[in-house]
């Protein structure tokens, strides 16, 4: 028996948009409702929902009979937790609170077998259909890896800003991420990408701002207009955390600051 292909990873690697659903109800019945609703993926939450390994297993068994790929947000960046979930046959993991290169490396090596990682080996798990999948150990990393071509990040530098109401609770009001690639002489924006979290009101890109700035000279005036252009794409809403007007203001300012920091990291001057 061969390892079943991972459609979610294959779609991402080919640049296809994937639409999914978040599940926090710890219910096999709720999972069954979602499994046949036509979503590309569904994420079972362990960080902020009272799921344990048995409840996750039950939901994975439900999704096994559907075309929806079941993912799991692990409760923490813990090597043992990652091993146990992968042994259950989870086809993708979301790691919470990755805030450094070292933490990212720890997450990756937990998903890889030696010599590339530290994942423990067991021959009779649900992931291998209890020993029946003969190519699991040679193919699973290829099936679950998301390949990022070097051309997409070469000479690219980025900056991220999280704005949160720290005097109340540390809950993000808005997050902004910008990465920029400059021309060889550092005087022109070769390629800029910007993404917002909790702004659209869902996480989203700002293509009008990207289209405006790409190919333009590296100037403060263009960065100012870049910030204003993000309002053509995002649609923040009022909530108890922040008003729509305030979120819009923060979006513009954070877009400008992120781009300025990215320019500095890339070796440009303002």
Asked if 159 is an active-site residue, the reply is no
Residue 45 CB burial class (10 angstroms; 0-12, 13-18, ≥19): buried
- The token pair at 252 is 């513009």
Cα(209)–Cα(78) distance, integer angstroms: 38
Q: How far is CA 205 from CA 179, 197, 268, in A?
A: 12, 9, 24
- How many helices (H) and strands (E) the chain has is answered by 9, 8
Cα 252–223–178 angle (5° rounding)? 65
Contacts of range 12-19, beta carbons closer than 8 Å, 24 or more positions apart: 12/146, 13/146, 13/147
Among candidate residues 181, 233, 243, the one with its CA nearest the CA of residue 203: 233
| CA within 13 Å, CB half, 179 | 8
Among candidate residues 53, 78, 28, the one with its CA nearest the CA of residue 42: 28
Residue 68 CB burial class (10 angstroms; 0-12, 13-18, ≥19): buried
Task: Provide the angle, in degrees to the nearest 10, between the axes of the packed helices 79-87 and 53-63.
Answer: 40
Q: Active site residue: 48, 159, 235, 249, which one?
A: 48
Cα(229)–Cα(234) distance, integer angstroms: 10
SS3 71: strand
Looking at the annotation, which residues are catalytic? 48
């Amino acid at each position: 028996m061969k390892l079943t292909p991972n459609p979610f990873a294959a779609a991402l690697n080919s640049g296809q948009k994937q639409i999914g659903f978040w599940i926090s109800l710890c219910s096999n019945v709720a999972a069954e409702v979602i499994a046949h609703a036509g979503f590309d993926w569904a994420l079972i939450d362990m960080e902020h929902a009272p799921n344990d390994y048995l409840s996750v297993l039950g939901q994975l068994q439900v999704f096994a009979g559907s075309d929806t790929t079941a993912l799991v947000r692990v409760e923490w960046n813990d090597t043992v937790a990652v091993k146990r979930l992968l042994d259950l046959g989870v086809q993708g993991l979301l790691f919470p609170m990755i805030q450094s290169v070292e933490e990212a490396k720890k997450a990756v090596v937990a998903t890889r077998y030696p010599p590339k990682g530290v994942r423990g080996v067991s021959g009779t798990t649900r992931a291998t259909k209890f020993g029946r999948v003969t190519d699991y150990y040679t193919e699973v990393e290829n099936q679950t890896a998301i390949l990022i071509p070097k051309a997409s990040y070469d000479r690219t530098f980025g900056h991220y800003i999280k704005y949160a109401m720290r005097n109340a609770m540390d809950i993000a009001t808005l997050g902004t991420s910008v990465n920029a690639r400059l021309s060889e002489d550092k005087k022109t924006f070769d390629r800029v990408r910007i993404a917002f979290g909790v702004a659209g009101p869902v996480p989203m890109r700002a293509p009008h701002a990207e289209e405006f700035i790409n190919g333009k000279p590296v100037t403060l005036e263009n960065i100012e207009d870049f910030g204003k252009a993000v309002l053509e794409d995002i649609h923040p809403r009022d909530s108890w955390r922040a008003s729509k007007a305030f979120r819009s203001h923060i979006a513009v300012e954070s877009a400008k600051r992120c781009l300025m920091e990215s320019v500095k990291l890339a070796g440009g001057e303002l």
